[in-house]
C-alpha cells in the first residue's frame, strides 16, 4: 500500500546514494573526456562507455527502490534541481527529448544511423504518449473515485481507501518510464559507434550539468521586488 506520508528513512537513503551517484557521474565524465582526447583503442573506450551506461542503470534501480517508499517523491523528481524538474517527465528525462540533444552533438551520422535514430525516436514518442495517456486516465479514475458519493457529508474513508488502491499503479508507471529510458540508452549505444557513444554520453552528462548550473544561477539571480 502506498503511504501518503514520506518514508523518511527510504528517502534519506536514496538522497545519500544519489549524492554519491553524482560524484561518480562527474568522475566518469572526466574519464570520458580524457579517453576521447587520448585517442585510446575502441576496446578500451568501450569499457569506459559500458561503465557509464551501467551507472545510469544503477540510478534507475535506486529510483525503483525509493518509489516503493514514496512514489510521489519520484514522480515529482524532488531530488533534482529546479531546472531539471522543469523538464522532468514521470520522474526523469523524456527519452525523445534526450535523442534531440544527443543527435545534435553526434554529426556526422551515416544514412543508416539517421534512419535507425528516426525509428527509435518515433517508437519513443509512441511509448511516451501511451504512458502519458495512461497517467491521465489514472488521474481521472482517482478523481472520480474520490468524488463518488455525496460530498460534504464527512464520511469519505471508503472513497479514499479505493483511491489508495488505484494509486498503486503509479509505481508501475515510474518503472515503465525508467525502462523506456534505459532501453533508449541501450538502443542508441547499439546504433552508434563506440566513439560516438562516448561523445553522446559526455554530451548527456554536460547537458545535465548545464541544467544544474542554470538552477544555481536562477536561485542566486537578483529579482525585482514584488
pLDDT tens string 132-181: 999 999 999 888 888 876 666 666 667 788 878 888 899 999 999 999 99
In a domain, 97, yes or no: yes
pTM score of the predicted model: 0.89
Chain centroid to CA 173: 12
Question: Domain count of the chain?
Answer: 1
Structural domain that includes position 22? 8-212
Answer whether residue 44 is part of any domain. Answer: yes
Q: What percent of the chain has pLDDT over 90?
A: 76
Q: Is residue 98 part of a domain?
A: yes
- Rounded to the nearest integer, the mean pLDDT of the chain is 91
Confidence of residue 123 (pLDDT cuts 50, 70, 90): very high
CA distance 59 to 24: 11
Which CA distances in Å does 9 have to 15, 20, 60, 169? 10, 17, 19, 23
57-80 pLDDT, tens digit each = 999 999 999 999 999 999 999 999
Q: Is residue 223 part of a domain?
A: no
Q: What is the mean pLDDT of residues 28-48?
A: 95
Q: Is residue 1 part of a domain?
A: no
Domain annotation covers residue 217? no
pLDDT at 46: 97
C-alpha cell at 164: 489508495
Q: By CB neighbour count within 10 A (0-12 exposed, 13-18 middle, 19+ buried), where does 181 fall?
A: buried
219 in a domain, yes or no?
no
| Residue 2: band (very low, low, confident or very high) from pLDDT cuts 50, 70, 90 | very low
pLDDT of residue 202: 97
3-state DSSP assignment of residue 66: helix
Amino acid at each position: 500500500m502506498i503511504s501518503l506520508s514520506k518514508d523518511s528513512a527510504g528517502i534519506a537513503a536514496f538522497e545519500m546514494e544519489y549524492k554519491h551517484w553524482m560524484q561518480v557521474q562527474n568522475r566518469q565524465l572526466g574519464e570520458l573526456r580524457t579517453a576521447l582526447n587520448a585517442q585510446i583503442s575502441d576496446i578500451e573506450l568501450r569499457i569506459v562507455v559500458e561503465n557509464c551506461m551501467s551507472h545510469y542503470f544503477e540510478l534507475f534501480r535506486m529510483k525503483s527502490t525509493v518509489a516503493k517508499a514514496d512514489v510521489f517523491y519520484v514522480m515529482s523528481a524532488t531530488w533534482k534541481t529546479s531546472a531539471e524538474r522543469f523538464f522532468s517527465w514521470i520522474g526523469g528525462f523524456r527519452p525523445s527529448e534526450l535523442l534531440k540533444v544527443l543527435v545534435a552533438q553526434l554529426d556526422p551520422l551515416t544514412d543508416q544511423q539517421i534512419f535507425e535514430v528516426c525509428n527509435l525516436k518515433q517508437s519513443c514518442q509512441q511509448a511516451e504518449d501511451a504512458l502519458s495517456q495512461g497517467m491521465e486516465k489514472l488521474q481521472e479514475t482517482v478523481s472520480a473515485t474520490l468524488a463518488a458519493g455525496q460530498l460534504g457529508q464527512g464520511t469519505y474513508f471508503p472513497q479514499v481507501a479505493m483511491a489508495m488502491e488505484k494509486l498503486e499503479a503509479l509505481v508501475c508507471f515510474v518503472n515503465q518510464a525508467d525502462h523506456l529510458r534505459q532501453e533508449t540508452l541501450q538502443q542508441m549505444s547499439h546504433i552508434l559507434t563506440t566513439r560516438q557513444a562516448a561523445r553522446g554520453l559526455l554530451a548527456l552528462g554536460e547537458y545535465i550539468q548545464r541544467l544544474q548550473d542554470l538552477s544555481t544561477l536562477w536561485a542566486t539571480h537578483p529579482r525585482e521586488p514584488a
